Each structure stands twice: as C-alpha cells, then as structure tokens.
Amino acid sequence: MTSPRGDRAVPTGTATQAAGDAGVAEARALTKRFGDVVAVDRVDLAVGAGEVVGLLGANGAGKTTLMRLLLGLMPVSGGWVALFGMAPSRATRRRVGYVPQGLGLYEDLTVAENLSFAAAAYGVPVVPPPDLGDVAETRVRDLPLGIRRRVAFAAALQHGPELLVLDEPTSGVDVVARSDLWDTIRTATERGAAAIVSTHHMDEASRCDRLVLMAAGRVVAEGTLDRIIGRERTVVVHAEEWTKVLEAVGSAGLSAALVGTTVRVHGAAPEAVHAVLERAGIDAALELVAPTLDEVFAGLVAGGWRPERGDDRR
C-alpha cells in the first residue's frame, strides 16, 4: 500500500474555519437533528494523522450518525465538520477508506473481482495483497468471516486512504485474526493515516490511542483508556458464598457482576459494600482493582454528563 500523503499541501476549503495539520478529521459543535430527536448534540472531535481514535457508545448514542456526518453522507443541522481541512464531499471521499459493519463486499463476486471493482471506483490500479493470493478466484460468500474481513480491509485500503473509518472491524474473528487486522490498521497509521474505529468491545477499544465515549448524542468522556478509567476503583468481593453476595449486593441496589466466583461492584465505596455484606452476615475479603471500560461506561451513562471527564480533549 502506498500513502498519497507525502509533501502535499493541506488544501484550505471553503466551509472550514480552522483545521490545522493535525486535523485529518475535525468537528466543532457538530449537531444532527431528525425532527425533534437530537441524534448528535454539539460534538467536538479531532483526529490527527497517525492516530487511532475509538468511538464507543450505547446503541442509539449517535455513533453511526456521527460517522455518516464525517463521511459527508448526510447534511449537518448545526456546527461544522471538516475532512483534510475541507467540507466532506466526493473529493474527500476519495481519500477515505471505509469498512462498514456489513463489510460492503459483493458476495457473488470473487475476491479478485471485488478488489478490481473497488480499485476502479477509486480510479487506482488494483493491488492484490499477497496473503489473499490463494483465495483470489474464490467467491466471497464461500470464505470464512476472518478472510472476508481481510478482503474488505484490502478493498478499502488499496487507494492509500488518509483516513480509515472502521465499524466494529474485528467482530466475529479469532484472536490471531484480530491481531492481524489490527496490524493492518497500525501499519496504515504508521504511514500517516488516521483511523476512527467504532466498537462496543474492550478487546478493540484497548488497542486505540484515544477513546471518545458517547451517550445520548453527546461526548461524555474522552482521552486515553488510562485517563478515562482514572482513579476510579471497582470492589471485588471474594467469598465462599458468592450467590449470597450477588443477592445481598443486588438487593442493596448496587451494580453487581459475577466474574468466575468473585463479584465485582462498581460505583460504590468499599465501606458501603462491606456494610452490606456485614448486614447479610457474609464473610468476605474485599479487593480494590481498576474498573473495566464497560463498568466506567455504565457508570457514565447512569450518572449522565460529567464535565470533568471532558477536560483533556484536544
């Protein structure tokens, strides 16, 4: 894969106010309304060259709408969005590689035909990846999912995009295939591309440089995984009678999650957990650990907007 970046001057489009060199994709106060529903609510976002930004959120949080606005697939209701310093257009689309959740391949066509088709659409010569040589003449529908995902990546990368937009890029594949697909993403970003990865899963989120968490159309937290997890702690309860722990903690209105035979309680002080267990007459050992991203995220959604989490945005 070749990168078309090089020493190309950053074009200054008409619809942008700013967008420096770092802003491969940039949004300010970006808003999208569908009737009375505000799907994307004053979102600020900046994705720089060489960076992988993970986009996380509940279903209906506005991730997909945000991605579609970034790609220029729908008009904005307020604020602005810029790709490569320009308003999204057919010209910016040529510089983006997009792998949708459904992969966007033609199942009836062979791997080689899919790659030729994608290359022709972008007006570039086809670049068949050597690792797909064995399956070049196989129809996509006859391939296992892991290989289909590699084909979709190859189709989206052969025009040397400067921005990758990937929707749950490794869903359904084994650990080695996931590692290999992320190698492809990282190889592209090491050559200067930026990447936006939408995901529901920690296995993917932990591989991003920076995360943007969305809820109800708004950005509720942003930063590195360590930064987002911050100083929060989860209480892990070790007890012989874990079923009683689960029941006691649950009926006290605390969030309890079973892991093995331990019970994780997030969003409560250890003293509070201790008190609940003592009242139930349960003998247990408590341990404080870093929360998972899921736990932090559930707390953020339950607790609503917390402005102190947004203070490290670019």
Partner 1 sequence: MNAFGVTDLVVRYGRLTAVCGVSFTVPPGRIVSLIGGDGAGKTTTLRALAGVVAPAAGQVRSPGKAGIGYVPAGPGVYMDLTIEENLAFSGHAYGVPAAVLDRRIGALLAATALSPARRRLAGALSGGMRRKLALAMALIHEPRLLILDEATTGVDPVSRAELWRMIAGAAARGAAVVFATTYIEEAERAFHVVALERGRVLLKGSPEGIVASIPGRIREVRERPQGGIAYRRGQGFRLWDPKSGDEGIRPDLEDALVIAALKARERAA
Alpha helices for 17-110 (secondary structure H): 63-70, 90-93
Burial of 294 (0-12, 13-18, 19+ CB in 10 A): middle
Question: Helix axis angle, 145-157 relative to 111-122, nearest 10°?
Answer: 20
In this chain, which of 40, 56, 154, 212 binds partner 1, going by CB under 8 A? Answer: 56
**Site mask, partner 1, residues 215-254, x = CB under 8 A?**
---------------------------xx--xx--x----
Nearer to partner 1, 56 or 81 (CB): 56
CB-CB contact of 215 with 300 (8 Å): yes
Q: Contacts with partner 1 in 192-221 (CB under 8 A)?
A: 200-203, 206-207, 209
In this chain, which of 6, 75, 260, 281 binds partner 1, going by CB under 8 A? Answer: 260
Nearer to partner 1, 95 or 210 (CB): 210
For residue 313, give Cα distances in angstroms to 3, 52, 206, 209, 262: 28, 15, 18, 13, 36
Instruction: Measure the CA–CA gap between 13 and 115, rounded to whole angstroms.
Output: 31
Q: How far is the CB of 120 from partner 1 (least distance, A)?
A: 29
Q: How far is the CB of 160 from partner 1 (least distance, A)?
A: 20
Q: How far is the CB of 249 from partner 1 (least distance, A)?
A: 11
Region near partner 1 per CB under 8 A, out of 25-33, 71-79, 106-114, 255-263: 255-263
Residue 83 pairs with which residues in a beta bridge?
25, 86
Output phi, psi for 110, to 5 deg: -75, 170
- Tokens 């899921």, located at residue: 294
Instruction: Measure the CA–CA gap between 137 and 151, rounded to whole angstroms.
Output: 12
Q: How far is the CB of 72 from partner 1 (least distance, A)?
A: 26
Chain length of the chain:
314
**If binding is defined by CB under 8 A, does position 153 make contact with partner 1?**
no
Q: Which residues bind partner 1 (CB under 8 A)?
A: 56-61, 144-146, 171-177, 179-180, 182-183, 186, 200-203, 206-207, 209, 242-243, 246-247, 250, 255-261, 292-294, 297-298, 301
